[in-house]
Amino acid sequence: MAKSTFVYTTYIRTTPDKLWSALTGQEFQKQYWFGMHCESPYTTGSPWKLVNDRGEVWDAGEIVEADPPRRLVIRWEHQMRPELRAEGASLCTMELVPAGQAVRLTITHSVEREDSKLVEAVSGGWPKILSNLKSLLETGTVAFEDPSRSKK
Amino acid sequence: MARSTFVYVTYIRTTPERLWSALTEDAGFMKQYWFGVHCESTWKPGSAWRMLYPDGRVIDSGAILEAEPPRRLVIRWKNHMNPEFEAEGDSLCTMELEPIEKAVKLTITHSMEREASKLIGATGFFWPQILCNLKSLVETGSVVLAEPFAIN
């Protein structure tokens, strides 16, 4: 079946445990995810949602696999924009591999259709979020605050 | 024509001028984040460009096709270390710098006019390591990876 996939790899000076906490902890997420946070117990089969600072649910789904601090797979359906919502479920896989004094984080986000608008949207979003996450873990502050300033 | 392309976007807390320098004439800085490698060029349109190991072996060579500091650099880029890559001929590497708040959005687009290019496959593996090192070095004063990371 035709597929749209976005892959992004980053290397962050931290430990797998700290990175797993940063990827799943709400207060930390709000700092690097432009005010958004995720709600889930992060156990296999549990519900998951991505919520903005006004409580609006942007994406919802469930945890397909959770193997802390190595691998997290989320079934991810967008809720806000009709044209993205119409595409149905996407799959987001986060893989953490120790790399020297750092961790290699690979995000793979895919939809089982060609030219997915959702995958196009997350292709713009993930580099911002993960650049902020890397800066926050390595320096204590994010790289930039306002994602609307970088919309292209 | 069929094409292979790798795109990587990162946001680095610095100025376009500082980032431009780190990507071009500041060879001492480049050696720190590029595992000892540096480039030689006058960084003017039409000038020769090459990338060298510390022992002087030429890894890649080509020419500067466009140079618009501190915004845009286009390099014609051919590998010489790997016979399979060398046989593929010229690739094109475009670097774009765009200020956003106190950071710079750096977009690297590395492409070749052939399907399933092995060189582009390899750059997709190395660019994230080099650019994560560059981001860490600029933001924290030290790199994230002392040695190139290889799986198994």
DSSP one-letter string for chain A = ---EEEEEEEEESS-HHHHHHHHH-HHHHHHHTTT-EEE---STT-EEEEE-TTS-EEEEEEEEEEETTTEEEEEEEE-SSHHHHTT-EEEEEEEEEEETTEEEEEEEEEESSTT-HHHHHHHHHHHHHHHHHHHHHHHSS-S-S-GGGG--
The complex's ipTM works out to 0.95
Question: Is A115's Cβ below 8 Å from some Cβ in B?
Answer: no
* pLDDT at position B88: 97
Distance (Å, whole) CA A148 – CA A151: 5
Question: Is B65's Cβ below 8 Å from some Cβ in A?
Answer: no
Please indicate whether, in this complex, the C-beta atoms of B11 and A104 are within 8 angstroms of each other.
no
pLDDT tens-digit readout, B40-91:
999 999 999 999 999 999 999 999 999 999 999 999 999 999 999 999 999 9
Average pLDDT, chain A: 95
The stretch B100-126 carries a mean pLDDT of: 96
Question: Is A121's Cβ below 8 Å from some Cβ in B?
Answer: no
* pLDDT at position A145: 86
* pLDDT at position A149: 53
Question: Is B53's Cβ below 8 Å from some Cβ in A?
Answer: no
- Cα separation values, A21 from A72, A130, B68, B90, Å: 12, 14, 42, 43
The stretch A58-87 carries a mean pLDDT of: 97
Question: Is B97's Cβ below 8 Å from some Cβ in A?
Answer: no
More confident residue, B70 or A152: B70
Residue-range domain boundaries for chain B: 4-140
Instruction: Calculate ∠ Cα B84-B130-B133, nearest 5°.
Output: 160
Which pair of structure tokens corresponds to residue A18? 């700290």
Please indicate whether, in this complex, the C-beta atoms of A11 and B144 are within 8 angstroms of each other.
yes
Please indicate whether, in this complex, the C-beta atoms of A12 and B12 are within 8 angstroms of each other.
no
Would you place residue A151 in the very low, low, confident or very high pLDDT band (cuts 50, 70, 90)?
A: very low
More confident residue, A147 or B121: B121
User: Domain B4-140, what fold?
Assistant: Alpha-D-Glucose-1,6-Bisphosphate; Chain A, domain 4 (3.30.530)
User: Does B147 score more than 90 pLDDT?
Assistant: yes
- Percent of chain A residues past pLDDT 70, beyond the cut: 95
The stretch B111-121 carries a mean pLDDT of: 96
Would you place residue A146 in the very low, low, confident or very high pLDDT band (cuts 50, 70, 90)?
A: confident
More confident residue, B134 or A2: B134
* pLDDT at position A152: 40
- For residue B149, list chain A residues with Cβ-Cβ distance below 8 A: 11, 99-100, 104
* pLDDT at position A148: 67
- List B48's β-bridge partners, or say none: B63
Please indicate whether, in this complex, the C-beta atoms of B151 and A131 are within 8 angstroms of each other.
no
- The predicted model scores a pTM of 0.95
How far does the CA of residue A4 sit from the closest CA of chain B (Å)? Answer: 15
User: Does A139 score more than 80 pLDDT?
Assistant: yes
